[in-house]
Amino acid sequence: AGGGRMIDRLRKWYYNAAGFNKLGLMRDDTLHEDDDVKEALKRLPEHLYNARVFRIKRALDLSLKHQILPKDQWVKYEEDHPYLEPYIKEVIRERHEREAWNKK
């Protein structure tokens, strides 16, 4: 159990050291937009997509100004949920199914 706490502390440290949370971004906001991610973004519900666009625009603005958000507005490790991950997994599963079907 002690090792699990150590790993969790290390994950939190790395999360904060990466710095994207200081700009108000979530981890899924920073993913490289390959074809799978682009397709997953198309499938996001509108409110999630709009929230993502807002976070990214705000982060770009802050970055251009060489600023970060006040600490109380940073995205906390515990609050960062993988909102895009289920959609990416679905897109990848469908792509694999298509590829397997095309091999037949």
DSSP string, 69-83: --GGGSPPGGG---S
Q: Which of 19, 26, 79 is nearest to 53 (CA)?
A: 26
Task: Check which CATH number belongs to the domain holding 73 and give it.
Answer: 1.10.1090.10
Domain that holds residue 95: 2-103
What's the full length of the chain, in residues? 104
The 10s digit of each residue's pLDDT in 18-50 is 999 999 999 999 999 999 999 999 999 999 999
Counting the structural domains of the chain, the total is: 1
For the segment 64-83, the average pLDDT, to the nearest whole number, is 97
With a CB cutoff of 8 Å and minimum separation 6, the contacts of 95 are: 36
pTM of the model: 0.87
State the Cα–Cα distance between residues 7 and 29, nearest whole angstrom: 23
**Token pair for residue 12?**
């939190």
**Token pair for residue 91?**
């897109």
